[in-house]
Structure 1
């Protein structure tokens, strides 16, 4: 009896790069980015990263994002299972968005076919989510079955280490994640918050003054924890700041020699809160 193929599905908040999505046949379902009531775009499909940050600078209104509608997920899942295949869906942290819950609603709507769909809360966003999706894609290509993929990915999610440097506090303030006073003081002192993805949330990890010190902080964090990257895939991301990220990548590649690296460009979902200039790296510490 021929074994069912496994189709991997994620959402656009993963910022997974198009080459990986294409090479591993990953379906990327878009969230929606809204600039006021009149302008709304399907993330990655109708607005790319470059255009989003251009609009962020030019529009007077701060954007907001909307989760994927359950009916969109249902249509995606149904198309796959109707072909006789199975679904592994890995989505944006349930702590940050209703997208995961939308996917669960869509799965349940499939009724007798629901048992052919596995939904996983990545507890991540952007590069962390992309890395977990990529790890799942490799397991599927190796021939692992759906339950094995789920088990191994759940284990990897708990072992993700990350450092995200936000270049400006302005957009955290606009998005309600920071008070105006905190943003003003941070801007005057040129503070760069360093965040991490943990338990489905973005939480503070540290703060430094200036970009060079941010990269130095990451190096010290890697050294203090004695992380060995030589057998790991390291994911990098930037919010329209390739030169800044390149300085970090060169340091990591020269001094820590990771087994593999993947790149992501921050899109509209995360860019709404980070603003331009953010850089990040993450890896699974297993």
Structure 2
């Protein structure tokens, strides 16, 4: 009997890691005015941002349904495996609740669900820890207990071009969103404990890399033993500059680059640049 890890598409885990570790990804949905798409399956990042730039009305997103989870869970259980489901913060989506409903419908004690209290690179960082624990042949209870502790140690921050997408999607108040609308001010958000908070703001692109460097220094993060996630949304050139600035200075163990997917792009918009890791 093995352990299978199920994730949702908002973690933005790379296809290479999904394939290598036999993860199962269930997609959320992106809804434009005339058509809906399964995240990462029916629409990729490039196509999404192209449609977003032409759309007069911002798209919306939809959670994974309980029925989808029932099908996914049942298929794995029939193979004799146990399940660890690791999903985006319940504060951001009903996806975790859908998984819980499906678990209750199926019954038994082979399904274990974890609310990451994060999203995108924060969830991704926790998923990497889950993969490592499974590969160490830890039992399911040890894995769940360890992940519940580690999820509070996830660090995830990002610089956005604007807060209008988070505000339109209901993830931030209008008052919080106003800060980014004047004087080319770029808000910096922190995703922690199921909340998105504006923790700082900078003016213009030139100070972005310097801010990340200062943030690492001031918090005394030791990155030499960590896998660091660098994410962007149509901002690969600045990601490369950030990587070059921190890779050698902090002697980072490993770096994974990824572009945010359509669902996260709906709420973050283009131009985002972020960093995430588990500070254990």
Structure-to-structure mapping, 1:1-286, within 5 angstroms: 4-36=1-33, 38-111=34-107, 114-176=108-170, 177=172, 179=174, 183=178, 186-286=180-280
Contact 2:176/2:198 (CA < 8 Å) preserved in 1? no
Q: TM-score, normalised by structure 1?
A: 0.93
Distance 1:115 1:182, change over 3 A: closer
- Tell me how far apart the structure 2 counterparts of residues 279 and 186 of structure 1 sit (CA, whole Å): 15
User: What is the CA deviation profile of residues 248-278 of structure 1, one whole-angstrom value per residue up to 9, with x for unaligned ones?
Assistant: 1111202111111222211121111111010
Q: What is the DSSP-based 3-state SS (H/G/I as helix, E as strand, rest coil) of the residue aligned with 1:115?
A: coil
Summarize deviations over 1:1-48 as a string: whole Å, max 9, x none.
Answer: xxx100000000111110011101110000010012x31000000001
CA contact (8 A) 1:20 1:134 kept: no
Most deviating of 185-194 and 142-151? 185-194
Q: How many residues of Structure 1 are paired with residues of Structure 2 in the alignment?
A: 279
Deviations 1:70-117 (A, max 9, x none): 010110000001111110000010010000000001111112xx3001
* Structure 2 gap segments, 5+ residues each: none
Computed over aligned residues only, the root mean square deviation of the Cα atoms, in angstroms, reads 1.6
How far did 1:173 drift?
A: 4.4
**Separation in structure 2 between the aligned mates of residue 14 and residue 69 of structure 1, nearest angstrom:** 17
The whole-number CA distance in structure 2 between the counterparts of 1:273 and 1:60 is: 15
TM-score by length of 2: 0.95
What is the Cα deviation at residue 180 of structure 1?
8.7
Provide structure 1 residue ranges, at least 5 long, that are not aligned to the other structure. Answer: none
1:228-260 superposed Cα distances (whole Å, 9 cap, x missing partner): 100111111111211111111111202111111
Moved more, 74-83 or 249-258: 249-258
